[in-house]
Structures are given as C-alpha cells and as structure tokens.
Structure 1
Amino acid sequence: MHGFLTPYRGERYHLRDYRGARNPQGPEEIFNYTHSSLPNVIERCFGVLKARFPILKDMPPYDLKRQKYIILSCCVVHNFIKMCKDGDPLFIHYADENVELDDDGIPTTGSEDQVTPSVSQRELRRMANFRDRLAKKLWERQTSQ
C-alpha cells in the first residue's frame, strides 16, 4: 500500500497527552496513540543497540559496505542476546514506554513539526478511509479486552 497515513487532527496525539489516567477515548484517539507510539518503539530499539554497541554511536569512517556489515552484526548479536538472556538490564531500561526517546536513545520532551508530502486528493481520501477502518478495528480490539 502506498500513501502517507496521518494522525487525526484535533485529537490528542503525543504520548505525554495520554499519561496518567487519560486513556484514549474513541477510535480516533486510539489510532493517534498507536500512531505516535511507533516512532518511540523504533527510537527505543536504536537506543538499546547504541547503548550495547558504542561503535554505532560514532561510526568510524569505513566504507559503506563495511558499515553495513557492522550494523548487521550488531543486530544479530543483539537478537541472540534477547533470545538467550531474560532480564537483560538494557532491555529492562529501554522497556519503559512512558519515556520518549530520540534516535540516540536520549529522553526527549519536545514535539517535532510534521511534514505532509504532496499527494493527490484521491490518495488522501483513500488513506483517510484506510485510517478510519484501522482506527475502528483498534478501538474494537481495545474495548473488547
């Protein structure tokens, strides 16, 4: 599927808006909450990798092919550790979903400006319909638990 899936405007979006007892209310908010969580998960993964393998924080000036293999090797070792070692301190530290992290694994409190790419009206409608269906399914799953 091609397109850009935007959050709902006029609804809470940032993870900090949902802290405490303020759970998502309705399909639009559960979609926005899920949408805003995805970059945080990715940032958290990079944070664990960079904490475990400092070479990833400041990559030496190797050629791109060698850099690719260094990154791949770090990911393989990381996944092996994750499979074999329950209670790893790095995984526990970065598992706290209430802390927003940047791509270096550093806590952040600021918001980033969103950029919407130029797309056709037809594509915007198609993605809005997909977003509505997805939001409804997320809400149904949330309320059935």
Structure 2
Amino acid sequence: MPPARLADTAIHPGALERAQAELAALQPLFQLTGAVHAAAWCRRDGSVALVREDVGRHNALDKLIGALATRGCGFDDGFVLMTSRASYEIVQKAATVGIAAIAALSAPTGMAVRLAEAAGVTLVGFARGHRHSVYTHPQRIH
C-alpha cells in the first residue's frame, strides 16, 4: 500500500489518556457482557465523539467508519482508539479512508506496524493510562 496523503494530526499524549478514560463509560455492551470490542473516534484533545461496539474488532471499526461517513464527518481531525490489538486489517481500513492515527489498548501485530509505516499512519499500542508505545510516525504525538 503506497503512503496515503494523511493529515498531520497533532495529538498530545494527554489526549490518549483522556480518550481511554472517557471510552470506558461509553461502552454499554461491554458493561453488560464484558465480551465486546469498541472503536472510538476521538477528537485531537482526546474527547470521544463517537463509539461503536461489536464482538469483532474489525466490525466495530467498520461500524465507526460507516457512522462517521453517514454523518459527513471528516477523518482528518482526530484519531481512532481501539479496545483491542491493532491488526494489519485495522491499519488498512483506517488508511484507506484517511485516518492518520490509531491507538490500541493492546499490542500491534508486526504486519500492522509494517503497514502503518508504509501507509503513513501513526500507530500507538499499549495505550493504557499515561503510558503508551508509539510504533510508527511519532511526529504526530507531541
């Protein structure tokens, strides 16, 4: 996948922490079952604008992208927060629509890291509290 023309979305590390804190309260299915993933669209400041849940992490992201597109929202002024690991499919879907940054609560796969690097996507893993690991394009996190 060639590098996409992605926005230079600047994300303060505190925004990652804020998004995580807000997301927990916005997951009603997870609160009921403890067994679903969420994909959240977060503004640059970390406030959560929209959340979609599903048993499958890929489905949760598909639902989120569809909801954002239906509402006419752009994909260039924020980031995605996933409650799962970051697989190459997550990166591929995000890059395809122009999402410049993905944060995941768990680890990225090696293939996800390689694809994110090639596609120009900032990939953050192990986003937990005030700690996180930036795997690709760290210039967006400052």
TM-score by length of 2: 0.23
**TM-score, with length taken from structure 1:** 0.22
Q: Whose relative contact order is higher, 1 or 2, with alpha carbons under 8 Å and at least 6 apart?
A: 1
Bigger radius of gyration? 1
Larger helix percent: 1
Higher strand share: 2
